[in-house]
A and B are shown apart, each in its own frame.
Chain A
């Protein structure tokens, strides 16, 4: 009696594996366990036949569902071609930057120094435009990204981010909308911006999780770390 009670959970366990045994997707060890049980238990063997019956009809049913029309493939590869064209445009942009870098390398130190000043001004101007874009809804007309509101800046959870050079202003705006983030300060040295990723203070783990999610947006983010 005790022995049969002990066998009941084992039988339930084996019975639960029958569908996978029929499909041939059990490990060798489990498949052998099931085979041994089937050889010794006529009722279990009968139930296995029910499983095989279900499997046969499931396959039959699925095979009658047909296949998608060529429209699905046309739509897919048209989208892929469109993405390819976009990538090519980005490649052209990258080549242009390389060409520009080569040109700068050929300039005299004095010219280069003036170019540096001009570049710094350009970055400040770009940052200002970016901030204007992001803060436009608040009625901001023109201000640099480093223009701060001390009280607001002190609250929340923050990260340091460097944007992908290929990312457009629209990409960055969309990134901020998606992650409900906002620009706080920057650009700092190396093109780093400080952004607010949550309105409230977060634990270290929570902040790391959000930063990891943002890092997945590689089209926009080149580098990101939690900020104190």
Chain B
């Protein structure tokens, strides 16, 4: 049995089908939420924003032209909402859980290596990247977006997508090295 495609659900949403909206929400809300959490660093703000993202979908479903995947469209709306929220509240404090996960990579790297394994350190360093670098790494690795799709979501040329990804990975390696994990690259 084949599930209804996202495009079909959005067509039904455009006619005011609430059930189709529930199906689309169930299918995508967790990933959209995680994308927003990683951008804004605050779970409460992220919850409010995903409500707004899907409300926009409800209102604008008729304008969706299926030139991109529905998930790409959702992430583009989510990104716009997240950046707008961050501009409104630049002083927003980071979520305690997120803040706790960020540590100064230069702080006692030898102790860090002793206490934690490489995977844990890598995840800490992923959290400590800048917003732009976190965003592109998540879009490529977790949300499985192609170069073209990332360019569409972030609003930058495809060549810049590749360059930004390279520098994000390079920064990650630098953070790892500072934390005592030398990967021999770059």
Write the residues of chain A forming the contact surface with B, with a CB cutoff of 8 angstroms.
15-17, 19-20, 22-26, 46-47, 50-51, 53-62, 65-69, 71-73, 75-77, 79-80, 83-84, 87
B141 close to A22 (CB less than 8 A): yes
Q: Chain A's interface: helix, strand, loop or mixed, by majority?
A: helix
Contact status of A76 and B55, CB under 8 A, knowing A47-B185, A53-B122, A84-B16: yes
Closest to B137 in A: A58
A24 close to B144 (CB less than 8 A): yes
- Tell me the complex Cα distance, A65–B127, Å: 12
- Tell me the complex Cα distance, A194–B48, Å: 40
CB 8 Å contact bits of B43-66 with A (1 = contact, 0 = none): 100111011001100110000000
Residues on A with C-beta less than 8 A from B163 are: 16
Residues on B with C-beta less than 8 A from A50 are: 173, 183, 185
Residues on B with C-beta less than 8 A from A26 are: 146
Contact status of A73 and B25, CB under 8 A, knowing A50-B183, A80-B18: yes
A54 close to B145 (CB less than 8 A): no
CB 8 Å contact bits of B175-186 with A (1 = contact, 0 = none): 000000001110
CB 8 Å contact bits of B143-178 with A (1 = contact, 0 = none): 011110100000000000011011001001100000
B113: interface (CB < 8 Å)? no
Closest to A25 in B: B146
- A83 is contacted by which of B47, B58, B165, B184 (Cβ under 8 Å)? B58
25 pairs from A and B in contact (CB 8 Å cutoff): A15-B166, A16-B162, A16-B166, A25-B145, A46-B184, A50-B183, A54-B137, A54-B141, A55-B141, A56-B119, A60-B119, A60-B123, A62-B138, A62-B142, A65-B34, A67-B29, A68-B29, A68-B46, A72-B47, A72-B50, A76-B25, A76-B55, A77-B22, A79-B51, A84-B16
Residues on B with C-beta less than 8 A from A20 are: 140, 146-147
- Tell me the complex Cα distance, A204–B131, Å: 39
Closest to A24 in B: B144
Residues on A with C-beta less than 8 A from B37 are: 65
- Tell me the complex Cα distance, A65–B95, Å: 12
Residues on B with C-beta less than 8 A from A75 are: 48, 51
B51 close to A57 (CB less than 8 A): no
User: In this complex, which of A47, A58, A68, A71 has the most chain B Cβ atoms within 10 angstroms of its Cβ?
Assistant: A68
- A68 is contacted by which of B18, B33, B123, B173 (Cβ under 8 Å)? B33
Contact status of A59 and B55, CB under 8 A, knowing A68-B29, A69-B47, A80-B21: no
B38: interface (CB < 8 Å)? yes
Write the residues of chain B forming the contact surface with A, with a CB cutoff of 8 angstroms.
16, 18, 21-22, 25, 29-30, 33-34, 37-38, 43, 46-48, 50-51, 54-55, 58-59, 119, 122-123, 126-127, 137-138, 140-142, 144-147, 149, 162-163, 165-166, 169, 172-173, 183-185
User: In this complex, which of A57, A67, A84, A87 has the most chain B Cβ atoms within 10 angstroms of its Cβ?
Assistant: A57
- B30 is contacted by which of A53, A67, A87 (Cβ under 8 Å)? A67
CB distance from B121 to the nearest CB of A (A): 9
- A19 is contacted by which of B18, B140, B149 (Cβ under 8 Å)? B140
Residues on B with C-beta less than 8 A from A55 are: 141
CB distance from B80 to the nearest CB of A (A): 15
- B38 is contacted by which of A25, A65, A79, A80 (Cβ under 8 Å)? A65
Closest to A80 in B: B58
- A72 is contacted by which of B51, B149, B173 (Cβ under 8 Å)? B51
- A67 is contacted by which of B33, B123, B141, B183 (Cβ under 8 Å)? B33
Contact status of A57 and B58, CB under 8 A, knowing A62-B142, A72-B33: no
10 extra interface residue pairs, beta carbon distance < 8 Å, beyond A58-B137, A76-B54: A19-B140, A19-B165, A23-B141, A23-B144, A50-B173, A56-B119, A59-B141, A61-B123, A80-B21, A84-B18
- Tell me the complex Cα distance, A77–B54, Å: 9
